[in-house]
Chains A and B, each alone.
Chain A
């Protein structure tokens, strides 16, 4: 199992550009999450999904969109990149079981200039 994979690893965007961060998991987990981590801060939830076709906002959803058409994939879309979106983005997944751990991807480091 590859676990949770994310692409790209690094990206530099210009203000106003758009991009999609890809996230795939091969563990058949129903729950998936997108977090962002700003320097010196903990991770904050952007969006989450409890299954294919179901998504919901987290703490910091503004400027982002998600979709969940399959169990495996949970892409994060930035429509109009802003410098405030410079961050490290982590995707995670888990089974719908209490106290169950979340498995994290390696992260995508995004810089918006």
Chain B
């Protein structure tokens, strides 16, 4: 069975702090894809990153970085020098198939509050 666990329900930090959002996944497939989405108060889920299971290189995009570790089935997301605009709910998701049945499996999300 596939499953995504985001153990942190809510995190609160002060601006300029670094923060890491945890994501642990379960799948029996060797080929799969992992995602992070951001949902600001406006409601729309915004795509942040997609990684496939064969690419374990960490990725950095500005203040955002992702750490993919197959050994621990984790795909953690770090925001460096957080800003108030980073306040949102962040979702980790997993997919292992294309076609009509390859639905995204979402975690329950982590609500991040960045205070000035």
A, B from the same assembly: no
Interface residues of B (CB under 8 A from A): none
